[in-house]
Amino acid sequence: MGLLRRFHLNNVVGNFGEDEAVTYLRSLGYRILDRNYRNLKGKALGELDIVAQDGQELVFVEVKARTYSDGQGEPLPEESITREKLRRLSRIAEGYIREHGKELVSYRFDAVLITIEKISLRQDIRHFKSIYL
């Protein structure tokens, strides 16, 4: 598979996963505040997939979606959430907090992990709260 095609497929799966995560989080009562937030000042560090509110708490949500073929075993999307990734997310979140005047609001980092079977499109959504700090 060509690099461009693989990049496009990854973007499609990633966007689908984020949409599914938003639907899932809303079903739990989360209020979605922002999607794909990028730090505006300093060096570009990446993005926060979803910024939400759960009660009084601010939640920075990392979404990882992966596809798999039946019989090959399920992939582990959480393997791509490394310590370096968490450090980068933390720095972006600090910028979000400052930019939006949320310094006095408690916050946490969650992960929503989605696996999608390629043929049946069967999905498994797992949600981990407070994955960092």
Residue 24, pLDDT score: 97
Q: What is the pLDDT of residue 10?
A: 59
SS3 readout for 45-101: CCEEEEEEEECCEEEEEEEEEEEECCCCCCCCHHHHCCHHHHHHHHHHHHHHHHHCC
3-state secondary structure of 26: helix
Q: How confident is the model at residue 2 (pLDDT cuts 50, 70, 90)?
A: low
pLDDT single digits (tens) 7-64: 444 567 778 889 999 999 999 999 999 999 987 766 677 899 999 999 999 999 999 9
Q: Taking the domains of the chain in order of start, what are their residue ranges?
A: 3-128
**What pLDDT sits at residue 132?**
72
Q: Which CATH class is domain 3-128?
A: alpha beta
112-126 pLDDT, tens digit per residue, is: 999 888 777 788 999
Task: Supply the pLDDT for residue 77.
Answer: 82
User: What pTM did the predictor assign?
Assistant: 0.84
Q: Mean pLDDT, to the nearest integer, of 80-105?
A: 91
